[in-house]
């Protein structure tokens, strides 16, 4: 039985099987409530026999009638593709923007941060797997229906200076993200996309018109790594970063460094070389510490020496703003002027201790520092 048929069973006493904590019986009321979140999807092609081909991400899922795509929250009903999570956030928090991490975008401000269930990757080291690796019906919609306009109002009330699409993978709740970012831009509250970057060019271009910033969780400069540990591929992510940079949207990269898997000096050098060639020296590059989680618990946390080596390689290569993450108090958390070397922004963890920037410039040598200040 497919998932759509399952959801149509009235008053069925069927419980989820992944965890008792998330299990919920499917009732007629639940089915009716679920329909509130269904909207026609963008970026799909109709095929014969009521099939559709999704054109949102590089997977290009071919989905039969009454079946769902790989990400689990987009489904085909009689030859029309639908998103099932519009207005259905499963978590909403007000986070420091540094937690994303975005270091050159409105420092020391908060971002209203949200996600629906689902992802188009299956990273074996996912820190938010209870959101990203679950189907929508397996995670309670405890907020009910939350419209884009309501999110903007919540952000305004909480003093959030941006709205972040994060935690899970925002590509799979594309329509909700696009509508929210459009509404928030009109309200003067920019949207920021925290993503794996696995998205096709046309939908990404449409997003770039309304987003204030994009941070890409870059897994490794290795297609083999993407295929084995994430069930994805490298090239589309590289193309997304180039596109975002060309569109003039503020871009930052994060590389989660996992011992023995993507931590070699050679791979770090190749990554820095690619960034310099295609994005330039001013795109911040964060090397962050891995902690064992989800399906990858057999490896230790990243040794600080490994992150420090990556930091030195990046600086030597000519990256102006390399960072070290998940090591609170490390000097690599700070922003330095690339011209005179003075500390401009001092951080400890997610907290900005001091910000010496003056109108986006170094107060000592007046060098302009790239970012959204």
Note the pLDDT of residue 142.
Answer: 87
Q: At what angle do helices 265-278 and 304-317 cross, to 10 degrees?
A: 40
What pLDDT is stored for residue 137 in this prediction?
Answer: 87
What confidence score (pLDDT) does residue 340 get?
Answer: 98
What pLDDT does residue 263 have?
98
- Which pLDDT score is estimated for 16? 34
The structural domains of the chain, ordered by start, are 1-35 (no CATH), 38-84 (no CATH), 98-330 (3.20.20.70)
Is the separation of the CB atoms in 262 and 219 below 8 Å?
yes
Burial class (CB in 10 A: 0-12, 13-18, 19+), 355: middle
The pLDDT, as a whole number, for residue 45 is 98
Task: Tell me the pLDDT of the chain (373 aa) as tens digits.
Answer: 344 443 343 333 223 323 333 444 556 565 666 788 999 999 999 999 999 999 999 999 999 999 999 999 999 999 999 999 999 999 999 999 999 999 999 999 999 999 999 999 999 999 999 999 999 989 988 899 999 999 999 999 999 999 999 999 999 999 999 999 999 999 999 999 999 999 999 999 999 999 999 999 999 999 999 999 999 999 999 999 999 999 999 999 999 999 999 999 999 999 999 999 999 999 999 999 999 999 999 999 999 999 999 999 999 999 999 999 999 999 999 999 999 999 999 999 999 999 999 999 999 999 999 999 9
Gap between the Cα atoms of 219 and 237, Å rounded? 9
Beta strands 110-115 and 91-96, pairing class: antiparallel
For the whole prediction, is pTM greater than 0.85?
yes
């Amino acid at each position: 039985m497919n998932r759509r048929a399952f959801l149509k069973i009235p008053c069925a006493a069927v419980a989820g099987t992944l965890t008792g904590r998330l299990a919920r019986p499917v009732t007629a009321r639940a089915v009716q409530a679920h329909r509130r979140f269904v909207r026609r999807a963008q970026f799909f092609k109709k095929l014969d026999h009521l099939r559709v081909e999704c054109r949102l991400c590089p997977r290009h899922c071919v989905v039969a009638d009454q079946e769902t795509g790989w990400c689990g929250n987009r489904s085909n009903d009689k030859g029309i593709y639908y998103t099932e999570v519009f207005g259905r956030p499963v978590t909403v928090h007000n986070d420091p923007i540094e937690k994303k991490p975005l270091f050159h975008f409105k420092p020391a401000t908060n971002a209203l941060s949200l996600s629906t269930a689902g992802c188009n990757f299956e990273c074996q080291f996912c820190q938010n797997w209870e959101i990203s690796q679950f189907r929508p019906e397996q995670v309670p919609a405890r907020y009910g229906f939350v419209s884009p306009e309501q999110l903007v109002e919540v952000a305004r009330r909480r003093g959030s200076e941006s709205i972040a699409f994060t935690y899970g993978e925002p590509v799979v709740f594309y329509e909700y993200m696009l509508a929210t970012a459009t509404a928030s831009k009109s309200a003067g509250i920019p949207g920021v996309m925290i993503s794996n970057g696995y998205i096709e060019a046309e939908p990404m271009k449409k997003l770039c018109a309304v987003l204030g910033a994009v941070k890409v969780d870059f897994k490794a400069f290795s297609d083999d790594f993407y295929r084995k540990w994430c069930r994805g591929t490298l090239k589309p992510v590289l193309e997304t970063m180039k596109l975002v940079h060309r569109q003039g949207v503020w871009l930052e990269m994060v590389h989660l460094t996992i011992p023995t898997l993507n931590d070699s000096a050679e791979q770090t050098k190749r990554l820095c070389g690619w960034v310099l060639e295609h994005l330039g020296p001013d795109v911040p590059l964060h090397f962050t510490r891995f902690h064992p989680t989800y399906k990858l618990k057999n490896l230790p946390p990243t040794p600080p020496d490994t992150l420090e080596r990556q930091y030195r390689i990046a600086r030597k290569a000519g990256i102006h703003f390399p960072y070290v993450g998940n090591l609170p108090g490390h000097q690599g958390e700070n922003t330095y002027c690339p011209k005179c070397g003075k500390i401009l922004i001092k951080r400890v963890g997610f907290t900005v201790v001091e910000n010496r920037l003056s109108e986006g410039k170094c107060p000592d040598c007046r060098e302009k520092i790239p970012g959204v200040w």
